[in-house]
Structure 1
Amino acid sequence: MRLSSETLHASTVAIDGRAVVISGPSGSGKSDLALRLLGRGFKLVSDDQTYLRMDDEGRLIASSPPTIRGKLEIRGIGIVDMESVMDVPVALFVELTSDMQRLPDDSRERLILDARIPLITVDAMTASAPSKVAVGLDRLGLKLR
């Protein structure tokens, strides 16, 4: 039996109708990177837990569980209310790591619910992390999936 939905330990932001799922271990900087992307014109989809489902067109759709919708945890400040968007097609999967490859393969993907989502790795603790996510969306020429 195939799953039709899944909840990931991930934060998700969106821009121009494209969602970026940010995954990594606890404390790796998911919420912090999401906050920095919000300052670049992205909108919050979900923080800490992201609900993913396939739509009728075969696209992977990201939203927030109702209990945390519009909430973002900011370390040192607490949980704050944020403007958020729902039901956004996923275009990119970002895996947070401090073990970066210098020249990774551009064709890496993450399989989620039978959807193949382009994957990049980023060290969230670097100043360039938000720029790398934006470049990842543009450079890979990502279309909605």
Structure 2
Amino acid sequence: MTTASLRIDGVAVSIDGKGVLLRGPSGSGRSDLALRLIDEGAKLISDEQVELHRDGERLLIGVPEVMPERLKGYIEARGLGLAQVPHVDVPQLLAWVVDMKDRAQIDRLPAAQSAEYLGLKAPLLKLDPFSLSATAKLRLAVRCGPGHILGRE
């Protein structure tokens, strides 16, 4: 049973059935990274705004209830417009929160970090969304989970 919810700015995708929240200001590369992930098989959860739900000791990420039906499954592709992409309608377990950062702001071997929402913590990564390896790094993080990456135990 969902006990609390919170709507925030961000883009969310589902990778292998696990939710990933991409955070950063407008123009930071959230949608660009999401588009590349979707092109590689991920599915859109929501673009621009997402809703987090606390379900006991789990954080779920989904489409805000207030989103008009006609916008569900659409993502903004700068220079192209709104495009319909593969998407999921069911909230997903939040596996990672990812902050969009410039390469110079990212440690080579970062210590474990987390983001807190609704009293629960989720593992946090910092990625350069425009790096060629960004999608591979994020897929690896989802596949491995935070407990299987050295320094993130």
Q: Percent identity?
A: 35
Q: Is the counterpart of residue 83 in structure 1 residue 89 in structure 2?
A: no
Which position in structure 2 is the counterpart of 1:58?
Answer: 57
Q: Name the residue aligned to 1:44.
A: 44
TM-score by length of 1: 0.88
Q: Give the structure 2 partner of residue 102 of structure 1.
A: 108
1:129 aligns with 2:128: no
- Unpaired segments ≥5 residues, structure 2: 148-153
The alpha-carbon deviation at position 141 of structure 1 amounts to: 4.9
1:118 aligns with 2:123: yes
Q: Which runs of 4+ in 1 moved over 4 A?
A: none
Q: Report the equivalent of 1:18.
A: 18
Q: Which structure 1 segments of 5+ residues have no match?
A: none
**Partners in 2 of 1:20 and 1:31 — Cα distance?**
13
For residues 86 and 42 of structure 2, what CA distance do their matches in structure 1 show? 10
Q: Which residue of 1 aligns with 2:144?
A: 139
Mapped to 1, the partners of 2:84 and 2:142 lie a distance apart of 26
1:66-114 per-position Cα deviation (integer Å, ceiling 9, x unaligned)? 3232110001100112231121110111011102112111x21111111
Segment drifting more, 118-127 vs 3-12: 3-12
Judge conservation of contact 2:58–2:93 (CA < 8 Å) in 1. yes
Q: Is the 8 A contact 2:60 2:92 kept in 1?
A: yes
Pairwise CA distance, 1:135: 1.5
Cα deviation, residue 20, structure 1: 0.5
Partner secondary structure for residue 141 of structure 2: helix
User: Is the deviation greater in 3-12 or in 73-82?
Assistant: 3-12
Cα offset, 1:41, TM superposition? 1.4
1:61 maps to a residue whose letter is L
- Give the superposed CA RMSD: 1.8
